[in-house]
Structure 1
Amino acid sequence: MPERLSLPGRRAAQGFSLVEVMIGMIIGLLGILVMFQMLLNWNERKRTAASGSDAQISGSIALYSLERELRNAGYGFGNAGAMGCTVTAYDRLRPGNNFTFPLVPVQITDGAGGSPDTITVLFGNSALTSDSTTYSASSATTKRLNDPSSIQRGDLLVAAQAGACGLVETTLNTHADGLTITHASGNYNDPDNTAVTARYNPAAGLAVALSAGNIFNLGPQPRRNVWRIVNDRTLVSTDDLHYSDQHDAAGQNTPDGMNDWTEVADGIIDLQAEYGLDSDADNIVDTWQSAAPADFRTVRAIRVALLARSQQYEKQAVTTVAPSWAAGAFVMTNLDGTPDSNPGTPNDWRRYRYRVYETVVPLRNAVWGNSP
Structure 2
Amino acid sequence: MSSKLKSSPRASGFSLVEIMVGLAIGMLAVIVILQVFALSEGRKRTTTSGGDAQSNGALMMYQLQHEIGQAGYGIAAVNLMNCSLRWPIASNVNIATAVPLAPVTINPDAAIIPIGDLNTDRLLVIYGNPNGQPQGNVITAQAAPVYTVQMPSSFTPGANGVGDKVIASPAVCGALIIDRVTAVSTNTVTVETGSAGAALYNLGPNPTVLAYAVRGGNLTVCDYMLNDCGLDANKDNVSIWVPIASNIASMKAQYARDTSGTMDAIPDVFDQTQPSTACGWARISAIRLAIVARNSQYEKDVVTTTTVNAGSPVNAPSWAGNDTDPIVANTGYLGPDAVADEPWKHYRYKVFQTVVPIRNVAWMGVPIGC
TM-score of the superposition, structure 1-length normalised? 0.80
Distance in 2, matches of 1:7 and 1:334, equals 88
Give unpaired runs (5+ residues) of structure 1.
185-200, 253-259
- Equivalent position of 1:283 in the other structure: 265
Q: CA deviation at 1:27?
A: 1.1
In structure 1, C-alpha distance between the alignment counterparts of 2:235 and 2:8, rounded to whole Å: 86
1:79/1:365 contact within 8 Å kept: no
Matched, 1:117 2:99: no
AA of the residue aligned to 1:51: S
- Give the gaps of 5 or more residues in structure 2: 109-114, 156-160, 307-315
Distance apart, 1:3 and its partner CA: 6.6
Rounded Cα–Cα distance in structure 2 between residues aligned with 1:332 and 1:18: 65
Aligned 8 A contact 1:117 1:228 in 2:
yes
Q: Report the CA distance between 1:242 and its aligned residue.
A: 2.4
Q: Which stretch shifts more, 319-328 or 300-309?
A: 319-328
CA–CA distance in 1 between the matches of 2:181 and 2:292?
A: 42
Structure 2 CA distance for aligned equivalents of residues 64 and 167 of structure 1: 29
- Judged with a 3 Å threshold, the aligned counterparts in structure 2 of structure 1 residues 38 and 319 are, in CA distance, closer, same or farther, namely same
Amino acid of the structure 1 residue aligned with 2:247: G
User: Letter of the aligned partner of 2:173 in structure 1?
Assistant: G
* Distance change (3 Å), C-alpha of 1:91 and 1:137: farther
| CA distance in structure 2 between the aligned counterparts of 1:83 and 1:41, rounded to whole angstroms | 58
Q: Which amino acid aligns with 1:172?
A: A
User: Displacement of 1:93 after TM fit?
Assistant: 1.4
Shift of the alpha carbon at 1:109? Answer: 0.3
| Secondary structure in structure 2 of the residue aligned to 1:149 | helix
Q: 1:96 to 1:139 in 2, by over 3 A?
A: same
Structure 2 CA distance for aligned equivalents of residues 113 and 261 of structure 1: 13
- Equivalent of 1:154 in 151, 157, 163: 163
1:102 aligned partner:
100
SS at 2:184 equivalent: coil
Contact 2:129 2:203 in 1 (8 A): yes
Alpha carbons of 1:369 and 1:334: their partners in 2 closer, same or farther (altered >3 Å)?
closer
Per the alignment, residue 222 of structure 1 pairs with 207
Check whether the contact 1:335–1:349 (CA below 8 A) recurs between aligned residues: no
* 2:58 is aligned with 1:74: no
User: In 2, distance between residues paired with 1:45 and 1:36?
Assistant: 14
Counterpart of 2:209, as a letter, is R
Of the candidates 317, 325, 334, which is equivalent to residue 323 of structure 1?
317
Give the counterpart letter for 1:159 in structure 2: A
**What's the counterpart of residue 252 of structure 2?**
272
**Residue 272 of structure 1: CA displacement?**
0.6
Distance 1:3 1:301 in 2: 114
Letter in 2 for 1:148: P
CA RMSD of aligned residues (A): 3.1
Superposition map of 1:1-372 within 5 A: 1-2=1-2, 4=4, 7=7, 10=10, 13-91=11-89, 93=91, 99-109=97-107, 115-151=119-155, 152-161=161-170, 162-164=172-174, 165-174=176-185, 178-184=186-192, 201=193, 205-206=194-195, 210-212=196-198, 214-231=199-216, 233-243=217-227, 249=236, 251=238, 260-280=240-260, 281-294=263-276, 295-321=280-306, 322-328=316-322, 329-331=326-328, 348-369=343-364
Query: Secondary structure of the residue that 1:41 maps to in structure 2?
Result: helix
Distance 2:41 2:213 in 1: 34
2:182 partner SS: coil
Paired residue secondary structure (2:204): coil
The answer to whether the 8 A contact 1:332-1:349 is kept is: no
1:86 to partner: Cα distance: 1.2
Instruction: Using the TM superposition, give the Cα deviation of residue 340 of structure 1 relative to its aligned residue in structure 2, in angstroms.
Output: 6.2
CA distance in 2, matches of 1:326, 1:8: 90
SS at match of 1:324: coil
CA 336–73 in structure 1, closer or farther in 2 if over 3 Å, else same: closer
Structure 2: distance between partners of 1:289 and 1:303 = 9
Q: Aligned to 1:47, what secondary structure does the other structure show?
A: helix
CA shift for structure 1 position 99: 4.5
% identical aligned pairs:
32
CA deviations on 1:29-49 (whole Å, 9 max, x unpaired) are 011000000001111010010
Aligned equivalent of 1:194: none
Q: Given that residues 256 and 267 in structure 2 are in contact (C-alpha distance below 8 angstroms), is that contact kept between their aligned partners in structure 1? A: yes
Indicate the SS of the match to 1:127.
Answer: coil
Aligned-residue offset at 1:283:
2.8
Which residue of the partner structure matches residue 111 of structure 2? none
Q: Which piece of structure 1 moves more, 77-86 or 335-344?
A: 335-344
Helix, strand or coil for the counterpart of 1:116? coil
Deviation at 1:158, TM superposition (A): 1.8
Shift of 1:128: 3.6
Q: 1:117, 1:271 within 8 Å by CA — same for their partners in 2? A: yes
The verdict on how the C-alpha distance between 1:153 and 1:244 changes in structure 2, with shifts beyond 3 A counting, is same
